């Protein structure tokens, strides 16, 4: 709605592949001032639901919803365990202590990059023209101190040695930190360029943790990729000892400042999953904080309190109501600001 940057409000949609029910859900979103839906195209969806996903994209757009497609679980969490590894077991991610990650793929695997491009072709088939690259990160192994890092597979060790002229160490140092960031940047440079060659847009959302390779402190490295159009983050406040408004405002403000400096769009996510009973009103505070910080693409994860998942909100109907209430407030504020500006310009 804004004259400078259109207001986008929406939610992630997953857990249902029945068009009859999905159409009702998309209409529900549109009736509550939403104009964007983020679908998932997991490996299972690719294998079993591709034509259905094309139908869901068409239904979404018929209701006035812009569509993005999430690379849910292709390389492992976030999302499903990677099915790709059943075909290419040599592409497993490894930790620096020599243990294999059973569900994650090394982003430096040439076979995986080729396969992701085939997935992009599948997204193109559905009619969706924006890919949402969900929370790229390189995890640290849990339970150890110091925590072993990823990826330290044979391919990554070889690349590290060629670049730094020494073997990859077992404990994180500055060279390893640089290598991890460079891995993410190189991977996304390649796959987003392929999507862009097909006329598609690319959006990414990064986790806030400093141990994940890419975060808000070094996100400008991702912003340097010309074929990334939108840079986002998910300042989820639940599970932290923070004030929801303050935490989301500060995270959103930092994200937007970096995005503007790099001349990129932004996307900010509001937590609508795992919400404890009695804390549903915090969604209104969080969404308002994102808007007050300058966010104009604000998305909820996910639709109807993510009820289709085990991590769904404890009171999903109330979480969805509060999500809709929050977006109604934002929509009304944006509309009123436009009307006030029109009056200022034209009412003499």
Is 263 inside a domain boundary?
yes
The range of the structural domain enclosing residue 131 comes to 8-80+107-137+175-346
Kindly state the percentage of the chain with pLDDT values over 90: 86
Q: Give the global pTM.
A: 0.95
Confidence of residue 210 (pLDDT cuts 50, 70, 90): low
For the chain, what is the domain count?
1
Taking only the tens place, the pLDDT of each residue in 71-130 is 999 999 988 899 999 999 999 999 999 999 999 999 999 999 999 999 999 999 999 999
**Are 113 and 187 spatial neighbours (Cβ–Cβ below 8 Å)?**
yes
What's the mean pLDDT when you consider all of the chain?
94
Q: How far is CA 276 from the centre of its chain?
A: 23
pLDDT at 214 over 80: no
Dist CA 155 CA 276 (whole Å):
43
Q: In terms of C-beta density within 10 A (0-12 exposed, 13-18 middle, 19 or more buried), how is residue 269 classed?
A: buried
Taking only the tens place, the pLDDT of each residue in 143-186 is 878 899 999 999 999 999 999 999 999 999 999 999 999 999 99
- Using alpha carbons, select from 145, 209, 157, 210 the residue that is nearest to residue 183: 157
> Which of 45-49, 119-123, 215-219 has the lowest average pLDDT?
215-219
Is 100 inside a domain boundary?
no
Is 88 inside a domain boundary?
no
**Are 248 and 290 spatial neighbours (Cβ–Cβ below 8 Å)?**
yes
Taking only the tens place, the pLDDT of each residue in 284-304 is 999 999 999 999 999 999 999
User: Who's near 29: CB < 8 A, 6+ residues apart?
Assistant: 10, 11, 13, 37, 63, 65, 303
Confidence of residue 348 (pLDDT cuts 50, 70, 90): low
Is 155 inside a domain boundary?
no
Q: Give the CATH number for residue 337.
A: 3.20.20.80
pLDDT at 220 over 90: no
Is 148 inside a domain boundary?
no
Taking only the tens place, the pLDDT of each residue in 303-330 is 999 999 999 999 999 999 999 999 999 9
Is 238 inside a domain boundary?
yes
Confidence of residue 4 (pLDDT cuts 50, 70, 90): low
Is 145 inside a domain boundary?
no
Is 162 inside a domain boundary?
no
């Amino acid at each position: 709605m804004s004259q400078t940057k259109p207001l986008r409000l929406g939610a992630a949609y997953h857990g249902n592949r029945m068009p009859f029910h999905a159409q009702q859900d998309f209409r529900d979103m549109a009736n509550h001032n939403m104009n964007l839906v983020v679908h998932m195209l997991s490996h299972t969806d690719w294998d079993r639901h591709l034509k259905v996903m094309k139908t869901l994209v068409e239904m979404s757009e018929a209701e006035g919803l812009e569509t993005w497609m999430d690379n849910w679980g292709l390389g492992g969490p976030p999302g499903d365990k990677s099915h790709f590894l059943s075909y290419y077991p040599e592409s497993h991610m490894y930790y620096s202590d020599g243990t294999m990650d059973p569900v994650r793929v090394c982003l430096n695997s040439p076979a995986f990059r080729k396969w992701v491009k085939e997935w992009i072709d599948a997204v193109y088939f559905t009619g969706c023209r924006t890919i949402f690259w969900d929370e790229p990160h390189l995890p640290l192994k849990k339970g150890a101190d110091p925590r072993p890092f990823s990826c330290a597979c044979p391919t990554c060790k070889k690349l590290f040695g060629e670049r730094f002229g020494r073997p990859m160490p077992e404990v994180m140092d500055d060279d390893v930190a640089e290598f991890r960031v460079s891995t993410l940047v190189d991977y996304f440079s390649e796959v987003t360029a392929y999507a862009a060659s097909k006329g598609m847009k690319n959006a990414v959302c990064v986790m806030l943790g400093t141990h994940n390779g890419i975060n808000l402190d070094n996100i400008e490295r991702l912003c340097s990729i010309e074929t990334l159009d939108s840079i986002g983050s998910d300042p989820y406040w639940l599970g932290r000892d923070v004030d929801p408004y303050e935490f989301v405002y500060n995270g959103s403000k930092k994200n937007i400042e970096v995005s503007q400096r790099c001349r990129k769009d932004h996307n900010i996510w509001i937590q609508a999953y795992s919400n404890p009973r009695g804390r549903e009103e915090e969604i209104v505070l969080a969404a308002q904080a994102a808007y007050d910080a300058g966010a104009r693409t604000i998305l909820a994860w996910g639709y109807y309190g993510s009820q289709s998942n085990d991590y769904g909100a404890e009171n999903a109907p109330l979480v969805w109501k509060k999500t809709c209430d929050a977006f109604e407030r934002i929509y009304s504020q944006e509309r009123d600001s436009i009307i006030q500006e029109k009056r200022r310009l034209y009412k003499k």
